[in-house]
Amino acid sequence: MAGIMFSGKPLDRSIQQPKYIQLASQIREAIQAGRLKPGDALPSARQLGLLFEVNRHTVMTAMQNLVAEGWLLSIVRKGYQVNTQLPIVDSVKTSQNSAVIGPVIPQFAYAVEHIDNLPPTKFRYNFAGGLPDVAHFPFDEFRRSMNRVCRDVSAASLHYQSVAGEGALRTQLKHYLRTARGLTCDDILVCNGSQEALFLIGQAFIEAGQGVAMEALGYPPARKAFQAAGAQIYDLTQDQHGLCADSLARCLSKNKVKLLYVTPLHQYPTTVTMPVSRRMEIYRLCVEHGVFIIEDDYDHEFHYSCPPLQPMAANDPAQIVIYLATFSKIMFAGARMGYVTASNAVLKHLSALKQIVNHKNEALMQLAIADWMAAGHFERHLRRMTKLYRQRCDVMDTSLQHFQKQGLDIDYLKPQGGMAYWVDLKRDVSNLPKKLFQAGINAHPEQNFCHSPRARYTHIRLGFAGQAEHDIENGLYALFDLL
C-alpha cells in the first residue's frame, strides 16, 4: 500500500546508528517529500519488519518516536497513519518552488567583519604583540587549585547568582590592584575577557551617532565594540609621548563625544608610555566636557626599567575613569578573565547589562583563580614571567641593533615594558602581510591598527613574549629577508 516510499533505501547496517532511528528517518523523509500523504495508513509492524529485515520491537520503537514527534497518529485497531494536522502539502509546494524563489536573505542590523584567527602553531615564527608563552604556565600548580575548588565548591556558587563575578575572586583582584597598581576600588565587575567589558561599556554609554575618541593608531577590537553600539569614531593624533592633548581639545570642542579610549601605560600598538603631565591635561579636558575615560591597562604587569606609572584611575576625583584589565597576558586567553572597576553607578549599570548577556559567570575557573592567587602562586608566576619577558625584550633589542649595524635602515625605541616593539622599517609595508603569511611569520604591520587610511605605512609591531630567544633571532632574519 505504501511500500513505494521505502524503495531504494535499505537500512545501512555498516553504521553505528540504531536501526529504529534509520527507519524513523525514512518514514519522516517520505512524509516531508509528500510520498506519504496526510491520512495515509502505514503497513503493519509485521510487514515493515519483513521489508527491512528487523524485528517487531525495532519497528514499534520507530513508530512510537514518530508519534511522539507528531508525524504519525496511533489509531486503535487500525495501526499507524500520517497525521492530518501537518502542513504537508504546503511544505511540498515550497520545496518544489525553492529553486524559483531562492533562499530568504537575512537583513542584519549592521555588517560585521569575520576574522579567522589562525592558531600560533600555524606559523614558524610568531611575533603577535600580546601573546604570552603558555608553555611556561604552571598548569600542574593551577590544576591543584582547580581540584580543590571542585572538591569544596558550594552548591550556591553553581546557581544563578554573582553576575558581577565570584566574591572570592573579586576580593583577590581588589587586593592585587591595591598592591600592584596603587588603585583602591570599592568593587569590581568580572567579565568574559576585556572584550566583553568593552562591548558592555559601548552599549551602556553610546547611542547611534554619538562619538568615541581614540588614538589614530589603536586597538581594533575596541573600535569594533564601539562601532557595534553605533558610535562615530574620532581619530586623535599621537606623538612620541602618546595621545596629543591639543588634538583631543579640538575634537571635544567640535563634536559630541561620550567616551575616550586610551592605553596610557603601553600604548597599543606603539608601546609609548604617556607621561604624567599629558595624562593630567587629558583628564582635565575630559572633566570639562563630561567625557568618560576608558583606561585599558592591558599588560601593566610587565614593566622592566622601573615601576610602572599609576593608572589614571588611581587619582580620579570626578569618577570618570573606567579602568579595565585582563589576565589573558598573564595566564592564557582561554581563561577568559577580564575585569572592570569604576564608580558604583557605572558598575551597577554594567552589571545589569551583563545580566542580559548571561546570568552567570564561569564559577569554577573564577574560584580556581581566586584560590591560586590566595596561595601566592599568581605572584610567583608573575615574577617568573616578568624576568623571562625582560630577557626576551633584551634579546630583541640586541638583534635589532645587530641589523642596524649591518646597514639595515630601521628605527625603534626600546619599550619600558609590555610585550612588543614598534619598529619603523623606513619603507612602505603595504604588501608585507601577504609576504609574511607565505613565509609563515605572524606579525602585524601598521595598517592593521589604522582606522583611517594613510598614504604610506612604514611601521610593524613585533611581539617578543610568545616565543623563545632563538626563535626571536631566527624569525627576525626571516622577516628582514622579505624586505
Average per-residue pLDDT for the chain? 90
pLDDT-derived band at 99 (thresholds 50, 70, 90) equals low
pLDDT score, position 89: 52
Q: How confident is the model at residue 1 (pLDDT cuts 50, 70, 90)?
A: very low
Q: Is residue 411 very low, low, confident or very high in pLDDT (cuts 50, 70, 90)? A: very high
Grade residue 377 by pLDDT with cuts at 50, 70 and 90. very high
Check whether 474 has a pLDDT greater than 50: yes
Q: Does the pLDDT of residue 325 top 50, yes or no?
A: yes
CATH number of domain containing 7: 1.10.10.10
Does residue 198 sit in the same domain as residue 220? yes
User: Which CATH number characterizes residue 278's domain?
Assistant: 3.40.640.10
For residue range 156-175, what is the model confidence (pLDDT) as tens digits?
788 887 889 999 999 999 99
In a domain, 103, yes or no: no
Say whether pTM exceeds 0.75: yes
Last residue of a domain, one of 351, 375, 399: 375
Whether residue 260 is contained in a domain is answered as yes
For residue 3, what pLDDT is reported? 42
Task: Provide the pLDDT confidence category of residue 115 given band limits of 50, 70 and 90.
Answer: confident
Please state, in angstroms and rounded to a whole number, the distance separating the CA atoms of residues 206 and 208.
7
Last residue of a domain, one of 330, 346, 375: 375
Query: Do 43 and 187 belong together in one domain?
Result: no
Residues with Cβ within 8 Å of 450's Cβ and at least 6 positions away in sequence, in order, are: 216, 217, 457
Specify if 111 maps to a domain. Answer: no
Residue 196 pLDDT > 80: yes
| Domain total of the chain | 3
105 within some domain: no
User: How many angstroms separate the Cα of 46 from the Cα of each of 49, 56, 79, 372, 447?
Assistant: 5, 6, 11, 64, 71
Query: Cβ distance 206 to 258 under 8 Å?
Result: yes
Q: With respect to residue 112, please indicate whether it lies within any of the assigned structural domains.
A: no
Total Cβ atoms within 10 A of residue 175: 12
Whether residue 241 is found in the same domain as residue 156: yes
CA distance 429 to 435: 10
3-class secondary structure, 82: strand
Boundaries of domain holding 31: 3-97
Confidence of residue 92 (pLDDT cuts 50, 70, 90): low
Q: Determine, yes or no, domain membership for 321.
A: yes
